Structure 1
Amino acid sequence: MTAAPPRATGPGTTGPWTTERPAADHQLLRVLGALLREDVAGLRTRGTLLHRADGPWLRLGTGHGQALLLPVREDGFQSTWAARLPLLRQEPDATDLTTCDAVLAALARLAAPEDAPGYTAFAEECRSDLAARHLHAATRDTVLARLTDSHGPRPAHWHGHTGSLAHDTLAARTDHPVHPVPRGRKGLGEPELRSYAPEFHPRFALRWLSLPAEHVTTAPAAGSGAASHPGPDVTPPTGPARETGGVRLDDGWPTPAELGLPRGHHEGHVLLPVHPLTAAGRLHDALAETGLARHAVLAERPLVHVVPTLSMRTVALADRPGTHLKLPLATATLGLLNRRTVTPGSLRDGAAGQRLLEGVLHRETRFAGRVLLADESCYAHAGHELLAVLRRTQPAGLDDATVLPLAALLAPAPDGGLVIGHLADRFHGGDRVALADAVLTLLLDWQTTLFGHGIALESHQQNISLVLGGGTDGPRLLLKDNDGPRVHTRRLAEAWGCAEPTADALGFADRRICVTEDGAVADLFTAITVHLCAGSLAFGLAAHGTAPLGRLLGLIRDRLAEAIDRTAVTRPGAAAVLRARVLDAPELPVKAMVTAGTLLTKARSGAADINKHYTTGPNYLLRKA
């Protein structure tokens, strides 16, 4: 069978599936593709392949002479087959199911009764996503005109952390490479999205909560960069007060007097910034649950204007865009169970992850100045996932550089072209493949080096930013949100020449982070670095006709092989694992985001972590004759 043209396989592109089909059809194709990839109701493993005049179909018998039929085409990116034509057909009555509601209702009838709420919830996510797609289309010209007025017409010249926020807006208007309905947010309608979501590039003022200091746990900044690294024994400093002259949590905060707080809250209290959506929503419940309602005062006066980043719950100070505040929201994205709150443990884990990466940079000096870390060691919480703040400080000295998340590379620019095209024109003589090659070379070298230290990061296309220019030749990477890694403690000990550390010694609250085998680390490396960062870029560029898909996939394989060869010099065991589990494996792990995030409870899916629950797909990196 002849493979489908590369342009039909690009994930998250703005090719034919978004420009020539209505939004509902495009969405249904993505949903059917995800359900097939994740083998919902056995579509993939129990389906029988039929060859019909219009192409291949998969037939799933449902009993009593009934069946569901899905037209498919060859894919290759995380799935052997992808859906074609926006329908699922019921037989023998030949009823075409052409809406997400109808498709999910049919599949729910095949599921266990206890799973029915998950199908209902996913149908609601589809409706929310579709409403957001229509809203994005209706506001596209207005938003792009505002970005152009503020930053100019050429994204490659959107500089510094202010320009990065504009790139975040473009990235927020593109599809996720895996999750089929990424644009909706649980419980938020059009007014809330327009006022607070990054795809609309709004500006708003924060609310402020005063709490007695004895009820708030704080961690001051510990500085950033390789100068502040754990010692060779990887034992972190004890306690939260690891001060090295970094910024204070409340630097730039309004005063209690400016907020109009009563005099009793001027001394001995801590001010926590609160997102307006949380202040208007579940803040009262959080205070009641912690017993803090009678001690807390929410200032009536909003102060300090912010702009949302690509992660809606994280906002940048409008007048200091290098300072970000991660604030909990009582919503969910990319799955019902993927809540946007901020747990106290995740704050501790993010700081520990940062220290771990600083330790790697201290030992791997060739990445000095090429891999940058945001400082995420400064935070506060009052023992509840809605009463917390992380203060992120971005690296200084990037005012003249172009800084953007990897998720923005394939985003449409204001002139209708791709952002990566603008970047290539400025930095690589118009050669998009050369720019992609430079990015992939550094990305795969860095992540493979981390694997040699026993570390894999949840550093997807939203959590890694590309830094170009600013007086430095070649690309740089900027990392943030390091709270969900996997760490193979034995490999870490071998690389650092120390006793095997425990989660406590490394400073992690989440015991799932530390593992004693390669599988969990290799799976995360593959699902995030290979698929979401490298593979999605290659398939997306091919979908836009930049270069043949085979050339782009060969580029990934070659750069990954070179990185593995470098790692083999000092970490032969780790390199052998990557060769066997990534380069030469017949199949690769793939995130099962719909199953783990919405359709099934953790008890039913068996997912210890919904963001690290996998199915399998074809290995598009295999060399073929």
Structure 2
Amino acid sequence: MSPDHATTAEAVDSAEGALLLRVLSAFLREDVVGLRTRSTTVEREDGRWLRLPTGTEQGSALLLPIGEDGFQSEFAARRPLLVRESDGSELTGCDAVLGALTALADPVDLPGFVSFAEECRQTLATMRLHDRTADEVGDALTARFGADPADWTGLASAVAHDTLAARLDHPVYPTARGRSGLDDAQLRAYAPEFHPHLALRWLAVPRGAVTVPGGAELLPASWPSPADLGLPELADSHLALPVHPLSLGAPLREALREAGLEDSAVLADRPYREAVPTLSMRTVAMADEPALHLKLPLVTATLGMRNRRTIKPVTLDHGAAGQRLLEAVIGREPRFKDTILHADETVYAHAGHELLAVLCRRYPAGLDEAVVLPMAALLSTAPGGRLLIDHLADRFYDGDPVALFDAFTTLLLDWQTTLFDYGIAIESHQQNVSLVLDRTPEDGVTRLRLLFKDDDGPRFNLPRMRQTLGVAEADELTAAFQDRRMFGEDYRAVADMFTTITLHLCVSAYAFGLAGHGRAPREALLELVRERLAEAAERLGTGPGEPGAALRERVLDAAELPVKAMVTAGTLLTKERSGASDINTHYTTGPNYLRPRKRDAR
């Protein structure tokens, strides 16, 4: 479809139907308005339905058609609609369905439901924009990087894989493609799914107001001085901080006022240096220096209205500490020295405000001949219509995508369960883990490595860390983490993060996804996951009190597994109403798809 072709009614219906299926499934999974716990099952000619009472009158109920799911919920929506039992009328479209469910919400929660309805409208507009521009963007990527994405090598090409990933839905959050408050023109100019080049703006801030751990001399050599920005009179007194163009205007003025810098900071008149947005959007890769990424705060929100894309200065400290922690573990586990990579996140600056900050993320050298892509891109559609994972399998795994899946699953679980052994779990979801694929220079054999970033939100079993690292080293490595929610006295929080991030998002989402695309039977892929996880548990030791026993008890053999309640905590309910201490670690439960009996029953 050409970019200027009007969206057909059928395409609109298809986009809205797909979104509504995900929304209804998420509501069911998270038990929104009691959809899971207050409903009863009803068998009808076309299959199973849920009946949700809406009042005391006869026939006062909503009916939802459901089918087997098995991933993070026992059931999922089967058709994108609700039916009023009283008269058999069908409610279709996001507004009608959400309106009916909102009417069942506690009045105190109405603002969250209203916000989510707007989130759906924004997401639907974005999905339609994606449909209209698919060929346009695919053609542009092909012209720039080549016809086969398995040949898009080096860090300059890595952001093209981000573009593909940005057009794919999140495995759990139904409105992940929406970004609050941005219109089509802004998405085209600044969002990763359009692969734009944007011009950064810069703010000259008094040096005394800027914190740069280790000193400003650690900033990249390419960092501009105020003189480079056309402000030579401030060269000695001020330091430059980059500003994302979307943060200009009222957000920046308010940030400067709150920081007490409205009279001393100066916004340069002209842009300086071009950048390309990565999958996270707020992080941009420098066009002329692709190994340098700048993470810049934005006032927009993704994955929930409460999930703002600003940067709290303390999280910069946490990110650097997370990198040091992982390096310490690799130092003790030399088998990961050449297979687990980490971007350098120790250089950053801020002026004491969440809109006046920057992380200078620098990627390892030696990746020019490697294909570097976020895990989130694996099941995306490449130019030409094939899945990206099929292209990669053709080049590196003799055309077998399951072999590629097994390879990254084996390495990922080996690494993450090793961290588990140390009492550590990291929030390394699909966006924060990249595959690095190339061939060894000695013999041309396929080489797979994993590249990590953004490890600022770990969970710790502190007694276990002190046992494995020693009290002094464990306490030193965790001293910079100022959020006490990260610390536990047992494996509960560590196992929950391991399950919801590594297992669900980085492994099992691909088992279910590959099965859904017909690449292999679901049962075979889940058996592979269980085998790899069982092997890891055995390496950790499964005797009483050993980490492998905790992994078995809380993951492999658990009756249910924790599941992120992202819609509830991210938008629908306030923290006071949901009880979520952290919107990113607020859980419900779902079936354990790794248990053989569960799979046999299906």
| Alignment correspondent of 1:192 | 186
Shift of 1:564: 1.3
Mapped to 2, the partners of 1:608 and 1:501 lie a distance apart of: 25
Is structure 2 residue 537 aligned with structure 1 residue 564?
yes
Checking the alignment, whether the CA contact within 8 Å between 1:438 and 1:474 is kept in structure 2 is no
| SS of residue paired to 2:175 | coil
- AA paired with 1:622? R
- AA paired with 1:379? Y
| Alignment correspondent of 1:254 | 224
Among 461, 466, 482, the alignment partner of 1:488 is 461
Among 358, 366, 369, the alignment partner of 1:397 is 366
Shift of 1:71: 0.4
Checking the alignment, whether the CA contact within 8 Å between 1:460 and 1:528 is kept in structure 2 is yes
Checking the alignment, whether the CA contact within 8 Å between 1:168 and 1:408 is kept in structure 2 is yes
- AA paired with 1:516? E
| Alignment correspondent of 2:203 | 209
Alignment of 1:355-370 (within 5 A): 355-370=324-339
Shift of 1:501: 4.7
Shift of 1:102: 1.7
Cα-Cα RMSD:
1.8
Among 304, 317, 322, the alignment partner of 2:291 is 322
Mapped to 2, the partners of 1:506 and 1:475 lie a distance apart of: 33
| SS of residue paired to 1:321 | strand
| SS of residue paired to 1:303 | coil
Shift of 1:258: 2.5
Higher relative contact order (CA 8 A, sep 6+): 1
Structure 1 stretches of at least 4 aligned residues deviating more than 4 Å after TM superposition: 18-21, 499-505, 569-572
Is structure 2 residue 306 aligned with structure 1 residue 346?
no
| Alignment correspondent of 1:227 | none
Alignment of 1:110-129 (within 5 A): 110-129=104-123
- AA paired with 1:508? F
Alignment of 1:76-115 (within 5 A): 76-115=70-109
Shift of 1:572: 5.9
Q: Deviations over 1:78-134 (max 9, x none)?
A: 010000111012221323221222222222222211100000000000000000000
- AA paired with 1:361? I
Alignment of 1:498-537 (within 5 A): 498-499=471-472, 501-502=474-475, 505-537=478-510
Is structure 2 residue 36 aligned with structure 1 residue 44?
yes
Mapped to 1, the partners of 2:472 and 2:259 lie a distance apart of: 39
Mapped to 2, the partners of 1:434 and 1:505 lie a distance apart of: 37
Q: Deviations over 1:220-276 (max 9, x none)?
A: 4xxxxxxxxxxxxxxxxxxxx6x9xxx82242122322211151x110211000000
User: Using a 3 Å threshold, how does the CA distance of structure 1 residues 180 and 274 change in structure 2: closer, same or farther?
Assistant: same
| Alignment correspondent of 1:464 | 433
Shift of 1:509: 2.3
Q: Percent identity?
A: 60
Mapped to 1, the partners of 2:478 and 2:151 lie a distance apart of: 44
Q: Deviations over 1:118-168 (max 9, x none)?
A: 000000000000000000011111111111011101111100111210000
Shift of 1:567: 1.7
Alignment of 1:298-313 (within 5 A): 298-313=267-282
Is structure 2 residue 441 aligned with structure 1 residue 447?
no
Is structure 2 residue 259 aligned with structure 1 residue 290?
yes
- AA paired with 1:529? T
Mapped to 2, the partners of 1:419 and 1:504 lie a distance apart of: 38
Mapped to 2, the partners of 1:575 and 1:176 lie a distance apart of: 30
Shift of 1:570: 10
Among 329, 342, 349, the alignment partner of 1:373 is 342
Q: Deviations over 1:329-366 (max 9, x none)?
A: 00000100000000001000001111100111001111
- AA paired with 1:535? S
- AA paired with 2:163? T
Shift of 1:54: 0.6
- AA paired with 2:85? E
| Alignment correspondent of 2:171 | 177
| Alignment correspondent of 1:33 | 25
| Alignment correspondent of 1:618 | 591
| Alignment correspondent of 1:475 | 448
| Alignment correspondent of 1:432 | 401
TM-score, normalisation: structure 1: 0.91
When structure 1 is superposed on structure 2, of 503-512 and 414-423 the one drifting more is 503-512
Mapped to 1, the partners of 2:447 and 2:418 lie a distance apart of: 19
When structure 1 is superposed on structure 2, of 72-81 and 60-69 the one drifting more is 60-69
Mapped to 2, the partners of 1:108 and 1:460 lie a distance apart of: 31
| Alignment correspondent of 2:5 | none
User: Using a 3 Å threshold, how does the CA distance of structure 1 residues 616 and 505 change in structure 2: closer, same or farther?
Assistant: closer
- AA paired with 1:40? V
- AA paired with 2:221? D
| SS of residue paired to 2:200 | strand
Shift of 1:506: 2.7
| SS of residue paired to 1:22 | helix
Mapped to 2, the partners of 1:20 and 1:179 lie a distance apart of: 21
Checking the alignment, whether the CA contact within 8 Å between 1:179 and 1:593 is kept in structure 2 is yes
- AA paired with 2:369? D
- AA paired with 2:118? E
| SS of residue paired to 1:616 | strand
Unaligned runs of 5+ residues in structure 2 are: 1-9
User: Using a 3 Å threshold, how does the CA distance of structure 1 residues 543 and 192 change in structure 2: closer, same or farther?
Assistant: same
Checking the alignment, whether the CA contact within 8 Å between 2:203 and 2:265 is kept in structure 1 is yes
Q: Deviations over 1:370-423 (max 9, x none)?
A: 000100010001111000000000011000001000011101111111111011
Shift of 1:584: 0.5
Shift of 1:521: 0.8
